[in-house]
Amino acid sequence: MAHAKLRLPEDRALLSFIFARFIDGEMTGLLEGRALGYAPTLQAADFLARQVRDEIRHAQMYVALYRHVNQGEDVPRSPWLLKAIMAPVTGRLWAEHCFLDKALGERWVLYLMRQLIEDTQDDRIERTLLAIAKDEEAHIAFGEAQTRDYIETGRFRRYYLWGLFLRLDLAMAIAYRLLRPLIRRRYSEAAAGMLTRFFTESRDKIAVECAALLGVQARRSLSQLLVCQVIFWIRLPFVGWWRGPRPGI
């Protein structure tokens, strides 16, 4: 269904905000370098090294888009709190990293990009986002493949990762609840429609896709969320200490 399109200069404020957050997100992609310390194989380490390169290139492309939207203005420094919220969400386990940061976190970013591609009337924005989206799809596919390997051996693992998914899903729901009045008040009708679809339709699609990946039902269960979160916190101080930085072959 065709929607009203975001345009410049009317939607400059929202587009600037999103591109500045995308830059923050890409910068946290540099933390992929940390995961190199526990990549299980040389192949995985090689993928991460290339991904870090991709994320740096994406950050540069978003800086160019920000300037395009703001007639050459520089990107302002990000508020500390926003950066803290966007920092990677995982613990020290390879599988948690691959599922939460790659298969899930990057999927959210990809969905927002697709929404922008569909709903923005600006060739340059569309072209740049299409180019970056291709790389993000590859990062997600890698995260999915690693997740499948991990869950192969046990039902508990599926249950656990779905529980961790639910925590982030809830965070998105809360973010939408908090932002909804602001979205309606501050942005154009096209922008409000785009954001609403992202927080509702995309959130549901992502839940269905992640459930299919894990081989579980897409059921939102508060008790499962809490149980898995408690397991996550209890394990956190103990897991991941005994791995060497040298990956297996």
Neighbours of 206 (CB within 10 A): 21
Nearest distance from C-beta of residue 83 to Fe ion, angstroms: 16
DSSP-derived secondary structure for 185-241: HHS-HHHHHHHHHIIIIIHHHHHHHHHHHHTS-----HHHHHHHHHHHHHHTTTTTS
Query: Which residue, 29, 44, 26, is CA-closest to 95?
Result: 44
Stated length of the chain: 249
The binder of Fe ion chosen from 58, 92, 97, 107 (CB under 5 A):
58
Amino acid 112 reads L
- The 154-193 site mask, x for binding Fe ion (CB under 5 A), equals ----------------------------------------
The binder of Fe ion chosen from 139, 193, 216, 224 (CB under 5 A):
139
71: left (phi over 0), alpha (psi -120 to 50) or beta: left
Is 143 or 163 the residue whose CB approaches Fe ion more closely? 143
Residue 144 near Fe ion by CB under 5 A: no
Site for Fe ion in 13-42 (CB under 5 A): 26
Distant-in-sequence, close-in-space partners of 149: CB < 8 Å, separation ≥ 6: none
The binder of Fe ion chosen from 11, 55, 119, 122 (CB under 5 A):
55
Is 11 or 55 the residue whose CB approaches Fe ion more closely? 55
Nearest distance from C-beta of residue 137 to Fe ion, angstroms: 9
- The 84-113 site mask, x for binding Fe ion (CB under 5 A), equals ----------------------x-------
For binding to Fe ion (CB under 5 A), which residues are involved?
A: 26, 55, 58, 106, 136, 139
